Amino acid sequence: MTDLSILQEKILRLKEERGAIILSHNYQREEVQDIADFIGDSLELSRTASELKCDIIVFCGVNFMAESASILSPEKTVLLPELGANCPMADMITVSGPRNAMTNFPGYKYTGGYKFPVGFTLRDIKERYPGAPVVAYVNTTADVKAESDVCCTSANGVRVVESLASDKVICIPDRNLAAWIAKNTNKEIIAWDGFCHVHDRVTRDDVIVAKREYPDAVLVAHPECRLEVLDMADHVTSTSGMLRFAKSSSAASFIIGTEIGLLHRLRKENPSKNFYPLRKDMLCPSMKKTTLQSVLRALETMTNVVKVPEDIRIPAKKSLDRMLSV
Ligand code: 13P
Ligand code: SF4
């Protein structure tokens, strides 16, 4: 037995004893995905977390996801194996304090300026566009969700925006998802200027290189990529949307424009098809923080509990519930 399989066995035993359920995002390490009860995209995991009949959820993902689980199921104990697993894009907008305007991600070349000064906040943009509802991508902190009107994920952004009565909508924090939504609706979209450094690093030139290398492959891209990339894609969808697309498509080869963790499931579920990363460095360090060791430690010690205070949880839940009902 390998060290990894010994750890996996220990986790599975302890999970049974504790009555815990392990949720994993599609970008998690392969060995972590392999011990999960449910693997999915942000929307599927939110839905699963709210429907599960269990006392303990171990959330293998980043902190906004564990927060969402706790918001939807406050009676459950939600454990985040690595408390430092944060989404840098989520931290690019705050309700009132200074935001994270980091551009020094390894391998990421920052292009395009910030539209708003570093001190600009969610409250500031609401004040600038009074009456425009705020659609918050789930990649936001709980207090930002609480201050928004409705949430969306990469799987339902267009539908959520279309469901609103207003012709003018504020979309936060991802400028690329906002541009994709704007392209697919008739509404006026006011976009925040955040980005995911994993997806925003991909350029038109990268697509040209990948298509030259794999001329017969179909290109699927995540809406967190730039519009110049999405415009060249055969299909634009969330991570689980990519899994469904790969399964149902008659194509034999695919170029995958999202975090490379998704390749594990794509290859496992489609052994006769070929999957190539659009760029090999599309790797999210935050998503890779969670290890088998940290999952085991969380279960053994029952530490790293994520709990959202009630005054934030209740309005944040309204935004998530509104999304789930669309
Ligand atoms: P989805 O899995 O919902 O497409 O989200 C991608 C993502 O970046 C989550 O952090
Ligand atoms: Fe955040 Fe991007 Fe990592 Fe997703 S892939 S957690 S959006 S930094």
Distance from the alpha carbon of residue 284 to the mean position of ligand 2, in angstroms:
6
pLDDT of residue 145: 98
User: Would you say the CB of residue 139 lies under 6 angstroms from ligand 2?
Assistant: yes
CATH number of 90-198: 3.40.50.10800
Closest CA to 195 of 220, 223, 219: 223
- Widest distance between CA atoms in the chain: 61
User: Would you say the CB of residue 291 lies under 6 angstroms from ligand 1?
Assistant: no
Distance from the alpha carbon of residue 196 to the mean position of ligand 2, in angstroms:
6
Closest CA to 68 of 90, 89, 37: 90
Fold of the CATH domain 3-86+287-308: Rossmann fold (3.40.50)
Starting from the CA of residue 92, give the closest ligand: 2
pTM value is 0.96
Residue nearest to atom 3 of ligand 2 (CA): 284
Domain with CATH 3.40.50.10800 in the chain: 3-86+287-308, 90-198, 202-277
pLDDT of residue 234: 98
Distance from the alpha carbon of residue 43 to the mean position of ligand 1, in angstroms:
9
Residue nearest to atom 6 of ligand 2 (CA): 87
Starting from the CA of residue 174, give the closest ligand: 2
Residue nearest to atom 7 of ligand 2 (CA): 196
Q: Which CATH number fits domain 202-277: 1.10.10.10, 3.40.50.970, 3.40.50.10800, 3.10.640.10?
A: 3.40.50.10800
Residue nearest to atom 10 of ligand 1 (CA): 139
The contacts of residue 58 (CB under 8 Å, 6+ apart) are 15, 20, 21, 22, 23, 79, 81, 295, 298, 299
User: Would you say the CB of residue 238 lies under 6 angstroms from ligand 1?
Assistant: yes
Is the peptide bond preceding residue 223 cis, with omega within 30 degrees of 0? no
Residue nearest to atom 9 of ligand 1 (CA): 42
Starting from the CA of residue 200, give the closest ligand: 2
pLDDT of residue 162: 97
pLDDT of residue 29: 97
pLDDT of residue 3: 84
User: Would you say the CB of residue 85 lies under 6 angstroms from ligand 2?
Assistant: no
> What is the spatial order of strands in the sheet that 253-257 belongs to?
235-236, 218-221, 253-257, 274-277
Q: Show the low-confidence residues of the chain (pLDDT under 50).
A: none
Starting from the CA of residue 290, give the closest ligand: 2
